[in-house]
Amino acid sequence: MAKCKIKGNIVTPMRIIENGEVCFDEKENRITYVGVQKNDDGEYKVYDYSGCYVAPGFIDIHVHGGGGHDFMDGTAEAFLGAARLHASHGTATMLPTTLSCSDEELFEVFNIFDKVQNAENDGSYLAGLHLEGPYFAPSQKGAQDERYLKLPKKEHYEKVLEAGKGKILRWTAAPELEGGMELGVELKKRGILPSAGHSDAFYEQALEAYEHGYTMLTHFYSGMSSLTRINGYRYPGLIESGYMIDFDVEIIADGCHLPASLLKLVYRTKGAGKVALITDAMRGAGQTEGETVLGSLKNGMTVYIEDGVAKLPDRKAFAGSVATTDRLVRNMMQLAGADVCDAVRMMTMTPAKLVGLRTKGALAAGFDADFTVFDDNVEVSMTVSNGKVVYQK
């Protein structure tokens, strides 16, 4: 039966429709009705989740892997396996994210993505790619491999853009590097979101970057400059610029990368319409504590999962998160004081807007049939992606 409906408390950006329903056509991947319940159940395949929340499908625009897989592994199973793991935690749509690597390795990721994007997939929809690197400030490289860092030269990024044509939705770079501003203009011209990250930019450079298309900051507070004192004078960095300039920001709300106090500050200052929640998850998401690999199995580095986060071997810095999207929404409600509508908006409508997914991120007639169903503790019961049930407890 193509006609389906889900009953429950419907989450919109503005309100909760208690005891409502959302109807959709699973074959056409289209929402047909959102509102109060009607007496026409006989016409539909009914999923009754009365008492639970029915939200738009969660959207993760920065994720490296999960379930023992990393997108840099360069295999179809890595893409599909990570998509399955995250679907079981509510992610309906994701942007597989790369790390700084050789061109050969990056182009192989492009090839695999081409094969799997429209293949049979029982996990999250792979909407497009997010390139994280290789144009980073070495001092802010974090867990990125310094061997592959370079300046954004036109002949290089044009080669990458040509190879990734139609696949790349966003690209993170340090705009203060030589050639960085020109990169922002080129990406914007091509409809790709330029995002500033792993950067040592001061306020003046951040302002110039914004004027050159960098309207977003990657994993806010992580891998970026802060207030610096030089010869007695204080210079605001990229963190302070995130509040002074009209940037959108994304945050890893795993409760480790940012404590509750900063989650509250970002949420209350920027607002749900300017904040996207991201997992930044690596292959350790969904796995037990212990040794794992960041990046590809071939060229990655050994890291350790401890205390709900991945750490570098010396334990002096984090090496990506092991979060899932349900954990992010739960933390924004329990740690940052966001209500259900705002917490969901930061995991759906806001990220969809940022990367140009115009028919995703909201429950409204004509939008894609993407849903995440969860209880009061944000424990996921069902995930629907592009009209297809990809997880059901």
| 93-134 per-position pLDDT tens digit | 999 999 999 999 999 999 999 999 988 899 999 999 999 999
In this structure, is residue 115 part of a structural domain? Answer: yes
Q: Are 143 and 317 in contact (CB under 8 A)?
A: yes
Say yes or no: 16 and 165 in one domain.
no
Say yes or no: 146 and 245 in one domain.
yes
Tell me, what CATH number does 45's domain have?
Answer: 2.30.40.10
Q: Rounded to whole angstroms, how far apart are CA atoms 59 and 91?
A: 6
In this structure, is residue 279 part of a structural domain? Answer: yes
Determine the residue type at 40. Answer: D
Say yes or no: 340 and 320 in one domain.
yes
In this structure, is residue 106 part of a structural domain? Answer: yes
Split into its structural domains, the chain has a count of 2
State the maximum Cα–Cα separation within the chain, in Å, rounded to a whole number. Answer: 75
In this structure, is residue 366 part of a structural domain? Answer: no
Say yes or no: 15 and 97 in one domain.
no
Q: Pairing state of beta strands 69-70 and 371-374?
A: unpaired
Backbone angles phi, psi at 326, to 5 degrees: -60, -40
- Mean pLDDT of successive 10-residue segments in the chain (393 residues)? 94 95 97 95 95 98 97 95 98 97 95 92 97 97 91 98 96 98 98 98 98 98 96 97 98 97 98 98 91 86 91 87 97 98 98 98 98 98 98 96
Q: By three-state DSSP, how is residue 360 classified?
A: coil
- The dihedral of CA 9, 350, 310, 322: what is its sign? positive
Say yes or no: 195 and 279 in one domain.
yes
Instruction: Count Cα neighbours of 335 within 13 Å in the Cβ-side half-sphere.
Output: 19
Tokens of 70: 């990393």
In this structure, is residue 47 part of a structural domain? Answer: yes
**pTM for this entry:** 0.97
Q: Pairing state of beta strands 45-56 and 3-11?
A: parallel
Say yes or no: 383 and 321 in one domain.
no
| Residue 275 confidence (pLDDT) | 98
Rounded to 10°, the helix 103-116/154-163 angle is 20
Q: Are 287 and 68 in contact (CB under 8 A)?
A: yes
| Residue 174 confidence (pLDDT) | 98
Say yes or no: 186 and 280 in one domain.
yes
Say yes or no: 45 and 148 in one domain.
no
Q: By three-state DSSP, how is residue 208 classified?
A: helix
| Residue 295 confidence (pLDDT) | 85
In this structure, is residue 345 part of a structural domain? Answer: yes
Q: Rounded to whole angstroms, how far apart are CA atoms 146 and 85?
A: 29
In this structure, is residue 372 part of a structural domain? Answer: no
Q: By three-state DSSP, how is residue 308 classified?
A: coil
Tell me, what CATH number does 353's domain have?
Answer: 3.20.20.140
Across 274-283, b (16+ Cβ under 10 Å) vs e yields bbbbbbbbbb
Q: Rounded to whole angstroms, how far apart are CA atoms 336 and 334?
A: 6
Which residue, 88, 91, 101, 96, is CA-closest to 297?
A: 101
Say yes or no: 385 and 327 in one domain.
no
Q: Are 354 and 216 in contact (CB under 8 A)?
A: yes
- The parent domain of residue 20 ranges over 3-54+379-392
Query: H helices within 281-377, ranges in order?
Result: 325-334, 340-345, 349-354
Instruction: Count Cα neighbours of 213 within 13 Å in the Cβ-side half-sphere.
Output: 21
Say yes or no: 47 and 84 in one domain.
no
Say yes or no: 318 and 386 in one domain.
no
Say yes or no: 82 and 174 in one domain.
yes
| Residue 21 confidence (pLDDT) | 98
**Which residues, other chains included, contact 204 with Cβ-Cβ below 8 Å and sequence gap of 6+?**
none
pLDDT digits 0-9 by tens, 235-258: 999 999 999 999 999 999 999 999
Q: Rounded to whole angstroms, how far apart are CA atoms 55 and 33?
A: 14
Determine the residue type at 342. Answer: D
Instruction: Count Cα neighbours of 321 within 13 Å in the Cβ-side half-sphere.
Output: 22
In this structure, is residue 370 part of a structural domain? Answer: no
